[in-house]
A and B are shown apart, each in its own frame.
Chain A
Amino acid sequence: MTLQLTNVTLTHANGVHALRGVDLHIAAGEQVAIIGPSGAGKSSLLNLLATALRPGSGEVQLLGERAWQLSARQRQRLRARIGLVHQAPPLPPRQRVITAVLAGKLGQWSLGKSLLNLLHPVDIPGARAALARLDLGDKLFAQCQQLSGGQLQRVGVARVLYQAPEVLLADEPVSAMDPVLAGHTLTVLCRHAREHKVTLVASLHAVELALGHFSRIIGLREGQILFDLPPGAVDHELLDRLYANEQLQSPPTPVAPLSLQIPRC
């Protein structure tokens, strides 16, 4: 088993029960989609798999290692083999796209190479190849703040593709894209996973996209797995049960702009 969760419970700092007693087994090379209503715990589940969050109870086994029994350094090495596409791309606005993409390999590079990369990009062809697969090859030297939301998300995906991890986790990777672009990006992700024998786990809001691209659909509701089926077996009744009484999603809080306080003395 590449990814294995055993009776995992996760409670956030504000008291919200994100996951309750989740059991999950994902084999190497599988392509899994996670769907569910807002607040079901999809992001929490993916962040847990990426070792960004620590479970309250239960065991997390990733790539054959018990993630939270390792020392900090060993866990860092494990993390370099797992890639997470974040829901909101964590890219500094003034950073250039090329540096943002090349940062994907920071967990694998030596000290000298990482340092050199700050001054001058060390692998322009590699970054371009990753971006080209997402039709962003011409934005290599643009600043992140010059891109649209959908383009930023694709840069986030390109970074993880460049990282070339053994496990690829994607938290709503296409939420800011139009349906055609979203479908295209998911195709790229799935093809990459197939060609490189990478385990792919993606959470998606759009059910049709999930059903159309993945071979295993997991439905998550209120922190528990409702069903775990191939796409053919997912029918309307099941989806209704999954999304029953979906609350209106509150808009994300806008990030306050950085303010400059120049004192007047």
Chain B
Amino acid sequence: MLTSDSRDPATLPRLLLSLLAVALLWPGIRFSELDLSVLLAGGSQSEMGRFVATFWPPAYGEEFLALLWQATLQTLAIATAGMTLALLLAVPASLLASRALSLSAASRGGRPSFLGRLLRWPVRGLLIFLRSVPEIVWALLFVRAVGLGPTAGVLAIAITYSGMLGKVYAEIFESVDQRPAHALLQAGSGRLAAFAYGILPNVAAELLSYTVYRWECAIRASVVMGFVGAGGLGQQMDLSLRMFAGGEVASLLLTFLLLVLLADQLSRLLRWRLG
């Protein structure tokens, strides 16, 4: 009987990995100052406990409800306006960046020439940069630049989402069968015409679906950006939290959850009907 491999070969790697995990865990806990007990210290003893107690009942005074309604409308408006601006930038950017419109690719079986790839690279880089910086950072910067209020939120969404939409659009264009467009290009049609007739019909549904999905994300992002002063439900929530008005925070949270739910249903409806 072979005795050479009577030892489990996975023992050593497993042991090393476990040691590594433990070695990283200790500084990790130290740096993050992890302390789970704050969650469990409920009841009247702790700040948290007392604050959570004020959440019930949620505030429903007439003045507050009017404020709530305004803030909700503002959030919706920020998301929609932001998405519109984002699309204005994303559509041309995606056309520029996508290999689907490459003339050189049409005659080389789908791979653009070196020059073709080189010229597209800056646009792609720009799109990646725009989406890498979180929208809330842009919001923070814009609040400093143009002041508190929804404008900062709209601009932040416009910038970040143009990057996201542009990149995903470009990828969607490239993911469908390129041959119809290539055939048109080789027959002498212009790039945009080849795109409109060769690619657009196949991708329209997916483009729409993704855009509506992004709009939903934009609503959530608008609320989050409100915390740095970009208007909407988020800004109200921030104010109420600072004033320890638990009932108001509860109402705002419930409204937010409801809004997200409605947006989800609306987006499903739109995607189903227009898809």
Contact = CB atoms under 8 A, between A and B. Distances in A.
Task: Determine whether A and B are in direct contact in the complex, meaning some CB atoms lie less than 8 angstroms apart.
Answer: yes
Interface residues of B, number: 14
Given A119-B14, A265-B217, A128 B8 contact: no
B10 A128 contact: no
B5 A140 contact: yes
Contacts, number: 27
A121 interface: yes
Interface string B1-15: 110011111110010
Given A121-B8, A128-B6, A264-B210, 6 more contacts: A96-B10, A98-B8, A124-B7, A128-B1, A141-B8, A141-B9
Contacts of A119: 14
A119 B5 CA distance: 18
Contact of B11 (A120, A128, A265): A120
Contacts of B8: 98, 120-121, 124, 141
27 contacts: A96-B10, A98-B8, A119-B14, A120-B8, A120-B11, A120-B14, A121-B8, A124-B6, A124-B7, A124-B8, A125-B6, A128-B1, A128-B6, A132-B1, A137-B1, A137-B2, A138-B2, A140-B5, A141-B5, A141-B8, A141-B9, A141-B10, A264-B168, A264-B210, A264-B213, A265-B213, A265-B217
Interface in A104-132: 119-121, 124-125, 128, 132
A254 to B, nearest CB: 26
B20 to A, nearest CB: 16
Interface string A160-204: 000000000000000000000000000000000000000000000
Interface string A86-111: 00000000001010000000000000
A202 to B, nearest CB: 29
Contacts of B10: 96, 141
Contacts of B9: 141
